[in-house]
Structure 1
Amino acid sequence: MPTETRLPRGTHPTGPIMAERRFELTNRPGEYALVQIRKPIKDSGTGNYKCSVEWVRPEERELFELWGIDSMQALQLALRAAGELTKTYEGSLRWAGDKDGYLGFPKTYPEHLPKALLRKLEKMIEREISAHTRKLEAAYKRRQRR
């Protein structure tokens, strides 16, 4: 079963950094925060994998360890955790110059949801994306006719 643990201060992350996202602090020009995700490491005792996520801000560092059945699940959970960590600060972070507050982490859904519900959610999302795309295409065609 996957787990997440906030590690005590002074604990060192495991594995090499495999991904990093840097955020500009909107209320503190010239200062940055970042999220680092480290390569999943197999635990010799359990056979499961752990993946470290470090959230670094000018005043604090937080380290989390996420566990999965395999390295893919540990990595997926780490990405989800990174998105949740940044969500708390989204009003004061900017990524890649975006002005709307998008931080680059898509919404994910809990793994324990029934397959039928996940399919229903996926169909709803696809329907909304299609409707939005049709509106954009219609607006584009109207502009082209002018």
Structure 2
Amino acid sequence: MSQGVVARRRYDRVDGRGHVEVAFFQPEQDGETGDFRCPFEISGLEGVESIRQQAWGVDSVQALQQAMQGARVALAPHREQLRWLSDSDLGFARYVPNGFGPELDAHFERLIEQEMVRLAPAMKRQWNQEDTLSDMEWLEQWYEAQCREEWAHHQGVNIQSLDNPGWLLKVDLRGTNLEGRMADALVQRTREPPSETNGNQGGDDWMECSIKEGCFIGAGDPRKLRAILNCFRVWARAT
């Protein structure tokens, strides 16, 4: 694609193995039809070659809008593998149909406004400065907010390396704002770690996060520290 990139979006992969990037290229006019096409490319998806497509519109703005819709559709099957601003929301809203006349356009707008008013406040996603923090920055702020002398010294947060090798994150939930969610549970697992029971065949691509005995415990291979931190953040912020 020879056109310059006009916009990019980067997603973190839940498995901690790099990023997925969406690039939108400069729309260009077709010499025969007069319409505009906007190429876009998605790279970094697990087990998928780079996706290269183009969207069309009557002008460059509509072509770019259609390209965003094309990216939304292409990414939808991979939504659970991606995080944007630490959320599984892809960030490409579905556009409201238009072009059917002013009366129908106004009707669609009223329907949306009515639904937004009807939704409970808790259902409305509130963007705030916290969304721009990295997972480590978020953990630092969360830790600071929980710190009381006894909790910080005797319980708190522990990050350490493992012998097998790998990473371990242990967060004691007792006495924190999360102590109401301490029931034992599996939060997320991607394959099993090497162990005697599986003949040390867990491989170099594994992660497991769970709640055990009042603690969030996340462990993973040497490349999973960021994924473990993200898993704790997403779990902690879930309502």
TM-score using structure 1 length? 0.70
Distance 1:94 1:113, change over 3 A: farther
Task: Report the CA distance between 1:114 and its aligned residue.
Answer: 6.1
Task: Report the CA distance between 1:44 and its aligned residue.
Answer: 2.2
CA distance in 2, matches of 1:76, 1:119: 20
Q: Does 1:63 align with 2:52?
A: yes
State the match for 2:222 in structure 1: none
CA distance in 1, matches of 2:101, 2:72: 23
State the match for 1:3 in structure 2: none
CA distance in 2, matches of 1:14, 1:77: 20
Task: Report the CA distance between 1:111 and its aligned residue.
Answer: 4.5
**Residues 3-57 of structure 1, C-alpha deviations (whole Å, 9 max, x = no match):** xxxxxxxxxx24111111111111x213211111111011223222110011112
| Structure with larger Rg | 2
Percent identity reads 28
State the match for 1:50 in structure 2: 37
**Contact 1:25/1:94 (<8 A) preserved:** yes
Q: In the alignment, which of 113, 126, 130 is matched to residue 113 of structure 2?
A: 126
Q: In the alignment, which of 3, 10, 17 is matched to residue 5 of structure 2?
A: 17
**2:26 is matched by which residue type in structure 1?**
K
Q: Does 1:82 align with 2:82?
A: no
Structure 2 residue ranges without an equivalent (≥5): 123-239
**2:62 is matched by which residue type in structure 1?**
Q
**Contact 2:99/2:105 (<8 A) preserved:** no
Distance 1:64 1:111, change over 3 A: farther
**Contact 2:35/2:58 (<8 A) preserved:** yes
**Residues 85-131 of structure 1, C-alpha deviations (whole Å, 9 max, x = no match):** 12121111111222xx2111112134565654443232121012123
**1:16 is matched by which residue type in structure 2?**
G
Structure 1 residue ranges without an equivalent (≥5): 1-12, 137-146
The root-mean-square deviation of aligned C-alpha atoms, in Å, is: 2.2
Aligned residue pair count: 120
CA distance in 2, matches of 1:117, 1:90: 32
